[in-house]
Structure 1
Amino acid sequence: MTLTELLSIHPFSWQSIGAALLCGSIIGLERQLRGKPVGIRTSSLIVLGTYMFVAISAFVINDASDPSRIIGQVVTGVGFLGAGVMMTREGVVTGVTSAATIWALAALGVCIAVVDSIVAIKLSVLVVAILYGIDAVEGYSANLSRGVHAKYSKWRRHK
């Protein structure tokens, strides 16, 4: 067995796996530093797992297979994961942003498999910009802290 055969991970690529881990780490680091669910490990595994499912589905081509069906099943399965991080406390739903982040992580895995690794990395930075940037804007504007966010803030103070 040659070194090339030993290092081969066909139908996957080391570049795509590296991109999946990088994308998950970029977003997971932001979540972990802020004490939110879905940190570096979980984020990296969601992107990597999604990439692997989509790459495998593209490799298995026969009359009965359709890679787009795997993508649909991943979206459904990841929605189930996201539902697991959402909770209701005193009538306030929490964890919705973490659930949406899980969906975005899965979309990045699909992007790596179907579109391009560099595009997925750029989109990871965009996701972090949204997660951090909107939070920063909400801190500067009282109008953005109304409604559910105001109730949640009150709940956190009484905790």
Structure 2
Amino acid sequence: MLSETEAVLRLVLATLLGGALGLERELSDKPAGLRTHMLVAEGAALFMVGSMLLAQDFSQPSAGGLIDPSRIGSTIVTGVGFLGGGMILRARDRVYGLTTAAGIWVAAAIGMLVGAGYYLIAIVGTLIGIVTVVLFRRLEERLSVAKESGQQAMGRASDDD
């Protein structure tokens, strides 16, 4: 049985994990940073905790029906998809905001997991997300520099011909 105290702790943990994920976006001066990721994770946790409490309180034979908490979870995914989709911009041959949109999607998943009580999976998911955005940003920057220097070297070689 989910107590109100545990529900509150789940909300706090989801918010903190969302913030940990959003910190890199904030430090990179992206539009959806710390607060956005925190709110998305908290919102997803609120929906999951709320659906679990509703199922707990009203899915009794005496209440006359069953409530399936996973149905609310599936609507979170849809709603966050719209939120993330609004962050993706295309200008000429470039696309912007994909990493931020993906981060919002992951923050919602983290919030859902915490809200449902799957703390370890949520924490590991957060750590994987942080490693992905921090480590691979550096790798992409190095690859970009290597690619640019390779193109410049090719340009100089063709100028000599």
TM-score (norm 1): 0.77
Q: 1:137 to 1:74 in 2, by over 3 A?
A: same
Q: Does 1:46 align with 2:48?
A: no
- 1:94 equivalent among 69, 76, 96: 96
Q: Residues of 1 paired with 2:109 and 2:45: CA distance?
A: 9
What is the Cα deviation at residue 124 of structure 1? 1.2
- 1:129 equivalent among 128, 131, 135: 131
Q: What is the aligned partner in structure 2 of residue 23 from structure 1?
A: 17
Q: Residues of 2 paired with 1:23 and 1:36: CA distance?
A: 18
Q: Residues of 2 paired with 1:81 and 1:15: CA distance?
A: 26
- 2:27 equivalent among 29, 33, 40: 33
Q: 1:130 to 1:13 in 2, by over 3 A?
A: same
Structure 1 gap segments, 5+ residues each? 1-8, 147-159
Q: Residues of 1 paired with 2:115 and 2:100: CA distance?
A: 23
Question: Secondary structure of the residue that 2:31 maps to in structure 1?
Answer: coil
Question: Secondary structure of the residue that 2:86 maps to in structure 1?
Answer: helix
Q: Residues of 2 paired with 1:14 and 1:33: CA distance?
A: 28
CA RMSD of aligned residues (A): 2.3
Between 90-99 and 49-58, the greater mean CA deviation after superposition: 90-99
Structure 2 gap segments, 5+ residues each? 60-64, 149-161
Question: Secondary structure of the residue that 2:4 maps to in structure 1?
Answer: coil
TM-score (norm 2): 0.76
Instruction: Spell out structure 1 runs of 4+ moving beyond 3 A.
Output: 142-146
Question: Secondary structure of the residue that 1:37 maps to in structure 2?
Answer: coil
Percent identity among equivalent residues?
32
For each residue in 1:31-82, what CA deviation from the matched residue of structure 2 results, as whole angstroms up to 9, or x when unmatched? 1001112111111110011001011111212325221111110000000000
Q: Residues of 2 paired with 1:60 and 1:11: CA distance?
A: 16
Q: Does the 8 Å contact 1:112/1:120 carry over to 2? A: yes
- 2:49 equivalent among 47, 51, 55: 55
For each residue in 1:114-138, what CA deviation from the matched residue of structure 2 results, as whole angstroms up to 9, or x when unmatched? 2423432232121010011111112
